[in-house]
Structure 1
Amino acid sequence: MELKELRPYQKDLLNKTRQAYLQGYKSPCIVSPCGSGKTVIMSEMARKAAEKKNRVLFLVHRKELKDQTIDTLKWWGVDMNYIEVGMVQTIARRLEKTIPPKLIITDENHHSLAKSYKKVYDYFPNARLVGFTATPVRLNGGGLGEVNDVLVEGPTVQELIKWGNLAPFKYYAPEIVDTSKLKIRRGEYVAKDIEDLFQSRAIWGDVISHYKKLSEGKQAICYCSSIKQSKEMAEQFNKARIKARHIDGETPKPERETVIEYFRQGKILVLCNVDLISEGFDVPDCNTAILLRPTQSLGLFIQQSMRPMRYKEGKTAIIIDHVGNVGRFGTPDMEREWKLDPKKGSNNTKVEEENPVKQCPECFYTVERSTEICPECGHKFGQEEKEVEQVESELVEIGSFDGFTTDYREPKDCKNMGELYSLAKNKGYKPGWAYYQGKMMGFIK
């Protein structure tokens, strides 16, 4: 069987991982963005191990991911006689029946601190470990140092967009919803409170109207906070003559496969769900992500917001954020510093001195704070900015925008305020430094 060719950055990640083992590390965590082909890298690692007749245990946390992984391994030409792909919950219950592996590969490695994973790792202490994730961070902000001993980092989202491996995107935030009164349980917002937040007809109406305005006729995946809300959202789209369906983990598999096939064929425009279509779930390419679930999880935000960024020639992804997640995390292409250490005194909602972006009140496009005329609709920003700025003062910094380049090291290299804010972040400076430089350079009047 003819082997497929890895991309240069995928080969580089494999080489870095090999070097990590040679340096004495036992459990590297490979970090690479959504859509960068992590399953292919894992498949190549499994193929090389199987060639040496080494047993590989491949851990996933969902049945759908198991089926998809097996299909990809076979497609990549892996000798399946040496591979066991299993749901971690199942493997943890039948450890004594599992052939001891030489290598344990963990998909969605940010789950690896769960008891089921650690039970498997402890049972096979002589096996090498390797985990793959786009977000090596726990929900509480801590790192994965209890399991992994080194981070092996791949390219950034901005680099993948520049190289044509991910689609560029436009990010809209039509409603910055006040989440200050939502209760948090086990690190996440309480689903019932989120449901109550969305009972306003104005909010529901905005979802429909903004889809029509920003992405009408294009396929979208709508992420909701509960099954009830997802079903209601699908109903609202259908009432607006926009073909939509809801699926969840309890939807019978034949029905779910039928719905996804209809989505693939373009018979369905909007696919509503809760968390089902997030981590590694294989659905056809789509153009738009509609975010209706406020979350404290950076991982969940990145998985969902980047869903439409799979590359397709000529495509620009649309992300419509109705719940202010951009205020908590920034845009999905923001460069982030990952660490294995637990985050002491973590507070995921860090407030910066000044938010470098604002939303256009007419079309809701997210633009740099210094923008005077909206590039999307031509709106001239005026006195209304003061009111918007007060609302947005609680948002965290957004350090990158569509079309950014990272090839600047000094203020003179920057062409706009967005690049100045990105430079400030890279240098560890406060946003006020970028603001002052922008004043000096004439970006801010």
Structure 2
Amino acid sequence: VIAHRIELLEQSAKTIERICPHLKVDIQGGGHKASKHAQVVVGGVQSLGMPGAAPEILTQLAPSLVIVDEAHHASADTYQRIFQRTGCYDPLGPMLVGYTATDHRLDGQSLSGDQCVFEEVAYRYPLRKALADGWLVDVQGYKVDLDINLDKIKKTAGDYNESALERVMNTEPVNEAAFKGWEEIGGRNLKTIVFCVTIDHAKDVAEIFRDHGVKAEAIWGDMGSEARAETLRKFAGGEIDVVTNCQILTEGTDIPTASCILMLRPTKSWSLYVQMVGRGLRPLPGVADAHSEPLFRCSAIARSAKPKCVVIDVVDNSVAHRLSGKPDDGSTPSLNEMFGLPSTLDTEGATISEALDVFEDLDEAVQASTRQRPTKFTGIKAKVAQFQM
């Protein structure tokens, strides 16, 4: 099993051990060294894919299956070295399987098909189905509108240039507006993860929250792993109410106690956007997995201490005028589009489940019209209710 951060290595190893207690599972990387007797090795990309000689564990293990976590990274050179070293591209080599919630890359590179890392997409599980099946909590979206225009910010590799974006986003008026929007929505009662542009931005936002009496801390990639783990432990345990971060909680991190996502890091990347929102969508432990039927899972989530996740998008003044789009057409990511709703539909205050139920009751012509112009969900809901009466 291949992953790219120590938190993901440890998380994957614990999950495999819980589900398959009869297997010997070891970690290779992040200060850990796998035993030659291991049946499953959860390995770090840097440890297994570094230039030079292949790590001894790869020849000792002779895997029959290679699993890639966050597989949208699989085209990178480090991953390619691992695939070559384990014989994944050989006719009789191990099967290569990748898992990702976001198979759309900003560079437009496909992950499956001829001359690609993977031959085909074997299975897709849409987020809206995961929501309906009771594996995700419901979502309630809000927007904090700012008097800025991100269209003027230059792009690097398809996304906003980090330095240019920080100059616009990391200002006291923007950070204060984000805090006030969060507070007005009821953020003080929600365990919140804030996504920021840079390390300085994460630190500055945490300071603003603390200035307003909120227990908040920042974490980032270069922070010591022990200090980072301690901060996350305090967040999960209730000692900290808000964690701000820069590019560290965007992928795979399992923090089910988080019930609010504050997006202070605008992006053109659908992959990054979905990853950030996804950090708040997991139900509390023992709620959904205690039931075998979707209806019972959904009911259990609705009755739990975390029935939904609040997602707050801090947006510029041009977003409201953009038409709905898809990940492959260069459009700006949106919470609605993640679940198959048009971004032109203003669902603020409603849950995604409620909006889906109403939208799917509309005829095709009305749905198409909604995708072409800004539309208030409250108006559509009232018309549907009137028609049903």
TM-score interval, smaller chain? 0.7 to 0.9
* Structure 1 equivalent of residue 354 of structure 2: 403
Match of 2:280, SS state, is helix
Distance, in Å, in 2 between the alignment partners of 1:271 and 1:335 is 31
Match of 2:75, SS state, is coil
* Structure 2 equivalent of residue 88 of structure 1: 45
User: Which of the numbers 67, 71, 75 marks the counterpart of 1:113?
Assistant: 75
Cα distance 1:335–1:165, how it changes in 2: closer, same or farther (>3 A)?
farther
Cα distance 1:432–1:179, how it changes in 2: closer, same or farther (>3 A)?
closer
* Structure 2 equivalent of residue 252 of structure 1: 224
User: Which of the numbers 126, 132, 142 marks the counterpart of 2:109?
Assistant: 142
User: Which of the numbers 72, 79, 85 marks the counterpart of 2:23?
Assistant: 79
User: Which of the numbers 306, 309, 315 marks the counterpart of 1:323?
Assistant: 315
* Structure 1 equivalent of residue 345 of structure 2: 357
Alpha-carbon RMSD = 3.6
User: Which of the numbers 133, 144, 153 marks the counterpart of 2:123?
Assistant: 153
Distance, in Å, in 2 between the alignment partners of 1:205 and 1:291 is 14
Task: Confirm or deny that 1:211 pairs with 2:182.
Answer: yes
CA displacement at 1:294 relative to structure 2: 1.1
Does the 8 A contact of 2:138 with 2:308 survive in 1?
Answer: yes
Extract unaligned runs of 5+ from structure 1: 1-57, 338-342, 359-365, 368-374, 377-399
One-letter amino acid matched to 2:110: G
One-letter amino acid matched to 1:137: H
CA displacement at 1:270 relative to structure 2: 0.6
Cα distance 1:326–1:275, how it changes in 2: closer, same or farther (>3 A)?
farther
One-letter amino acid matched to 2:17: K
* Structure 2 equivalent of residue 189 of structure 1: 160
User: Which of the numbers 216, 220, 227 marks the counterpart of 2:192?
Assistant: 220
* Structure 1 equivalent of residue 7 of structure 2: 64
Does the 8 A contact of 1:223 with 1:290 survive in 2?
Answer: yes
One-letter amino acid matched to 2:191: Q
Q: Percent identity?
A: 24
Distance, in Å, in 2 between the alignment partners of 1:106 and 1:299 is 16
Distance, in Å, in 2 between the alignment partners of 1:132 and 1:335 is 24
Does the 8 A contact of 2:159 with 2:268 survive in 1?
Answer: yes
User: Which of the numbers 387, 397, 414 marks the counterpart of 2:361?
Assistant: 414
| Structure 1 residues 36-55: aligned runs within 5 Å | none
User: Which of the numbers 228, 239, 245 marks the counterpart of 1:267?
Assistant: 239
CA displacement at 1:406 relative to structure 2: 6.9
User: Which of the numbers 257, 264, 267 marks the counterpart of 1:295?
Assistant: 267
CA displacement at 1:242 relative to structure 2: 0.8
Match of 1:89, SS state, is helix
Distance, in Å, in 1 between the alignment partners of 2:135 and 2:151 is 37
When the two structures are superposed, what TM-score results if normalisation uses the length of structure 2? Answer: 0.73
* Structure 2 equivalent of residue 283 of structure 1: 255
Instruction: Deviation per CA, 1:287-337: give whole Å up to 9, x if none.
Output: 100001111211110011122111243322100010359959x9xxx9978
Extract unaligned runs of 5+ from structure 2: 25-37, 285-300
Distance, in Å, in 2 between the alignment partners of 1:240 and 1:326 is 30
CA displacement at 1:137 relative to structure 2: 1.8
When the two structures are superposed, what TM-score results if normalisation uses the length of structure 1? Answer: 0.64
